Each structure stands twice: as C-alpha cells, then as structure tokens.
Amino acid sequence: MIFCVLSAVCTFAQDEEIDVRGRIVDDTGTPAIGAAVMLKGAANVGAVTDVDGKFSLTAPRGGGPSDYLFRV
C-alpha cells in the first residue's frame, strides 16, 4: 500500500522551529492510522498519525520547504 501526504501546512512558530501538520492517506483516500512520520536525519523529530491520518510535529527550521524530507 502506498502512502502519500495529501496536504501539509507549515506555520512558523519560533525563529528556530517550524510547526508541520499534514494528513497521510493511502491511494484510495483511507487514513493511515498509527503511521510513524519522521524527519529524515533527525531521529528525535517525529509523530504518529491519529484516527483521521492527521499528524503534527515541530521541526528545526531549514532553508525552505525542499529542505524537509519526511519518512512514513
């Protein structure tokens, strides 16, 4: 089963951190319940999706959206 990030909304929290929220679903639109979402290269930054496939985490600020790679 392939998972994809349907949407991710980034809002700036502090000067050095960014809040990342999104929803993980499979190719039929079914939420991925309990999926682990980790920031690549940062073992201590991650979250688990809820019953709606939603997650929220705080990550170190990078240079731009392309600097973030999340593993599901």
Q: Taking the complete model, does pTM exceed 0.75, yes or no?
A: no
Q: Is residue 67 part of a domain?
A: no
Q: Is residue 40 part of a domain?
A: yes
Q: Is residue 71 part of a domain?
A: no
What domain range includes position 27? 3-60
Token pair belonging to 54: 């939603």
Q: Is residue 68 part of a domain?
A: no
Compute the Cα dihedral for 61, 59, 55, 42 and give only its sign: positive
Q: Is residue 65 part of a domain?
A: no
Q: Is residue 72 part of a domain?
A: no
**pLDDT, tens digit (0-9, with 9 covering 90-100), for 7-64:** 444 544 446 888 888 898 888 999 999 988 887 777 788 889 999 999 998 888 765 5
